[in-house]
Amino acid sequence: MEEFIGVIKLFAGNFAPRGWAMCNGQLLPINQYNAVFAILGTTYGGDGQTTFGLPNLQSRVPIGMGQGPGLSNYVQGQISGAEQIVLTVNQMPAHNHTASVKVSSANATLDTATPGASIATPGSIVSRAFVPTLGFNSATPDVQLVGTTVTNSIAGANSAVPLMQPYMAMNYIICLEGIFPTRD
């Protein structure tokens, strides 16, 4: 079965069959492959005078050219994409991190003695340390941290995030000899 010149197929072999070439971006002489040049032009490289390039699909996935509904526009021969990226703060969606504050020691000045809540004398320093001989009641203390700033450190390791879908490497080949496709 003859193929149209310029058709690209996946091929499980590690060579290109006769009349086909690997899609690895190599330059071909125009004078030896006029029909292929007439189809590809310099879309994939070459100077257009003596050489033209074949598509380079090594480590690349082809997508349909044009613009689908709600999608980006892709021009034939356009190369883009990356295997991984490092996200910046601007690329992260707005979100919150929980933080907790642990006070390891605190001193406070008692202005007014509260009957039954403390045995401290007004103006004396009240230590957080537990002293078994002093008695406090079981009322929940009213503690306010005024002017305190809690800062979270940046999370993450500034590492690249992989973008690759699961894959199996194979060869793309392009037909160099066959039927010249006619426009409809």
How do residues 97-140 score in pLDDT, each as one tens digit? 777 766 655 555 555 555 555 555 555 665 655 545 445 556 66
- Residue 6 one-letter amino acid: G
Return the HEC string of the chain.
CCCECCCEEEECCCCCCCCEEECECCEEEHHHCHHHHHHHCCCCCCCCCCEEECCECCCCCCCCCEECCCCCEECCCCCCCCCEECCCHHHCCCCCCCCCCCCCCCEEECCCCCCCCCCCCCCCEEECCCCCCCCCCCCCCCCCCCCCCCCCCCCCCCCCEECCCCCCCCEEEEECCCECCCCC
Greatest distance between any 2 Cα atoms in the chain: 105
pLDDT of residue 79: 94
Structure tokens at 69: 């509904």
- Residue 39 one-letter amino acid: I
Please list the ranges in the chain whose pLDDT falls under 70: 1, 101-148
Q: How far apart are CA 59 and CA 170, in angstroms?
A: 10
**46 Cβ contact partners less than 8 Å away, ≥ 6 residues apart:** 27, 28, 30, 52, 53
Q: How far apart are CA 62 and CA 43, in angstroms?
A: 14
Q: How far apart are CA 173 and CA 12, in angstroms?
A: 10
Entry field: residues in the chain: 184
Q: What angle do CA 156, 158, 163 make, to 5 degrees?
A: 100
What are the structural domains, with CATH classification, of the chain? Answer: 1-58+171-184 (3.90.1340.10)
Q: How far apart are CA 61 and CA 40, in angstroms?
A: 19
